[in-house]
Structure 1
Amino acid sequence: MPHSIVTDVCEGVADCVDACPVACIHPGPGKNVQGTDWYWIDFSTCIDCGICFQVCPVTGAIVQEERPDLQKTPS
């Protein structure tokens, strides 16, 4: 099951983007409620390797399950 980036917790650090082996993490449009850049995980591409979860320095920004309700995925 893919991981999810909690849009309103993400601080736009982007360590996850460089670490992702399948390039499934993308920048979201605009800013989140904190006024920072944010990223989202393409659930159809994510291989559930967990690297993003390991490298993210922001507590609670990534959860180890697919949670579309927490991740504002652009359409």
Structure 2
Amino acid sequence: MPHTIVTHVCEGVADCVDACPVACINPGPGKNNKGTEWYWIDFSTCIDCGICLQVCPVEGAIIPEERPDLQETP
């Protein structure tokens, strides 16, 4: 099951983007409700490796399950 980036927790650090081996993490349009850049995971491409969870410094920004209700996907 793919992971999820919680849109309104993400702070746009982007460590996950560089670490992802399948390039499934993409920038979202505009800012989230915290006023920061944000990213989203393409559920159809994610291989559930968990690297994004390991490198993200923002607690709770990435969760280990597919939750489209928490991730805005353009």
The TM-score normalised by the length of structure 2 is 1.00
Structure 1 residue ranges, 4+ long, deviating more than 4 angstroms after superposition: none
SS at 2:18 equivalent = helix
Identity %: 85
Aligned to 2:66: 66
- Tell me the number of residue pairs that the alignment of Structure 1 and Structure 2 aligns: 74
Question: CA–CA distance in 2 between the matches of 1:55 and 1:16?
Answer: 6
Question: CA–CA distance in 2 between the matches of 1:55 and 1:33?
Answer: 23
Partner deviation per Cα, 1:29-54 (whole Å, 9 max, x = no partner): 00000000000000000000000000
Question: CA–CA distance in 2 between the matches of 1:33 and 1:49?
Answer: 28
RMSD after superposition: 0.2
Aligned to 1:14: 14
Structure 2: gaps of 5 or more residues: none
Structure 1: gaps of 5 or more residues: none
The TM-score normalised by the length of structure 1 is 0.98
